[in-house]
Amino acid sequence: MFKHILVPVDGSTIAMQAARSAIRFAQAVKARLTVIHVIHVYPYAGFGEGFAEGLAEYLAAANAAAAEAIAGVRAEVEAAELPFESRIAESNTIWRGVVEAAESAGADLIVMGTHGRGKIDRLLLGSVTQRVLAHSPVPVMVVHGEG
């Protein structure tokens, strides 16, 4: 049975619904959770002398958003009294960051929502969930949600 569940979060309602499903499932099978937020490191397209400054500002804001997304889940995991770890990772593709996190954490299941924050992002970048499903070395439980 599953012993270590990876839950990617992005601050969206659907990611939170997936996290809640993962918490309930982890309680039932007595698994531990790793909650991860993957920062997409290449959407910043600054140029010239201000590039390094702009990139630093982008990463600071992205790390703050990641911490906020994880904090929302942390309270619920702690209330459920489950073993818990959180991570913030950086990757040039979010799906690859999720797959690499599952491998490095030793997770044997990924639980994630059907899609993330924006419908436009899905059209432009493709479905993160679809790519995780295609490339994950472990099973992926997809939680359908409204939002």
DSSP for 9-31 reads --S-HHHHHHHHHHHHHHHHHT-
Tell me the C-alpha to C-alpha distance, in Å, between residue 13 and each of 59, 77, 81, 112: 23, 16, 22, 11
Q: Where are the alpha helices (DSSP H) in 30-127?
A: 51-79, 94-105, 119-125
Q: What is the DSSP letter of 99?
A: H
Residue 124 has a pLDDT of 45
Q: How many residues does the chain have?
A: 147
Residue 125 has a pLDDT of 45
CB-based contact 109:2 (threshold 8 Å):
yes
Between CA 116 and CA 121 the distance in angstroms is 8
15-74 confidence digits (pLDDT tens): 999 999 999 999 999 999 999 999 988 755 666 666 666 778 888 999 999 999 999 999
Write down the domain spans for the chain: 4-143
93-113 confidence digits (pLDDT tens): 999 999 999 999 999 999 999
Between CA 82 and CA 25 the distance in angstroms is 11
Q: Using a cut of 0.75, tell me whether the model's pTM lies above it.
A: yes
Between CA 126 and CA 110 the distance in angstroms is 19
Question: CATH topology for 4-143?
Answer: Rossmann fold (3.40.50)
Maximum separation of any 2 CA atoms in the chain, in Å: 54
Between CA 147 and CA 96 the distance in angstroms is 24
